[in-house]
Amino acid sequence: MFATTRKSPRSLLTALVATPMLLLALAACSTGGASSTAPTEASGGDEVSQDEMSAARDAYDLKLAECIRGKGLDVKDPKPGEGIQESSPEINAAGSECMKEIGDPPTAAGTKKTDAEQLDEMIQEVDCLRGKGYEIADPTIETGFTMPDDVTDADIDACMAS
């Protein structure tokens, strides 16, 4: 679902936190709106390369950023493989609204987790970060969680590995 190139732990965590959070929000209140076609679906279920998947995801992220800006919020166009870096409750809410409008992000076959699995992962990550002294609100299906500005890359790595 994400590019194999790792820019920084913070960038990766932001993408990993934001994407499931937005997916969870969409799944929780989906009205059956438009859905993007994943490369695996577009090719009739054939295997797709990581490059094709990354390109599809990058295009989706650009479309999502444009939609969020259209709702009056300041987000930059995401760099390839990084996803939207800005995060706040307002941006997350706008992202959820935009996902209802533009559909789900493309995913490779077999990578979609249930809401409960994604929420459980977020809870584990939040608990780990709290154990390291960070104050973070409880994640929910609708909102996910917002990463504290002062979190270190080392703490992110430790909590993502657990």
CB 160 within 8 Å of CB 125: yes
Is residue 2 situated within a structural domain? no
Token readout for 9 is 């732990």
CB 57 within 8 Å of CB 2: yes
Token readout for 152 is 């270190």
Is residue 1 situated within a structural domain? no
Is residue 4 situated within a structural domain? no
CA–CA–CA angle 58, 59, 60 (5° rounding): 90
Is residue 75 situated within a structural domain? yes
The 10s digit of each residue's pLDDT in 95-145 is 889 989 998 888 766 556 778 888 898 899 999 999 999 999 898 887 788
Could you give the C-alpha distances from 68 to 48, 72, 92, 138, 154, in angstroms and in order? 29, 7, 9, 24, 30
Mean pLDDT for the stretch of residues 67-83: 92
Is residue 28 situated within a structural domain? yes
CB 75 within 8 Å of CB 91: yes
- HSE (CB half, 13 Å, CA atoms) of 155? 16
The 10s digit of each residue's pLDDT in 76-88 is 999 988 888 888 8
Report how far residue 74's alpha carbon sits from residue 87's, in angstroms, rounded to the nearest whole number. 10
Is residue 134 situated within a structural domain? yes
Q: What is the pTM of this model?
A: 0.48
Is residue 72 situated within a structural domain? yes
Containing domain of residue 140, as a range? 9-161
CB 134 within 8 Å of CB 155: yes
Residue 110's CB: how many other CB atoms inside 10 A? 6
The 10s digit of each residue's pLDDT in 5-48 is 334 444 444 444 555 444 444 443 333 333 343 444 444 444 56
CB 7 within 8 Å of CB 81: yes
Is residue 35 situated within a structural domain? yes
The pLDDT value given to residue 81: 85
Q: In total, how many domains does the chain have?
A: 1
Report how far residue 121's alpha carbon sits from residue 134's, in angstroms, rounded to the nearest whole number. 17
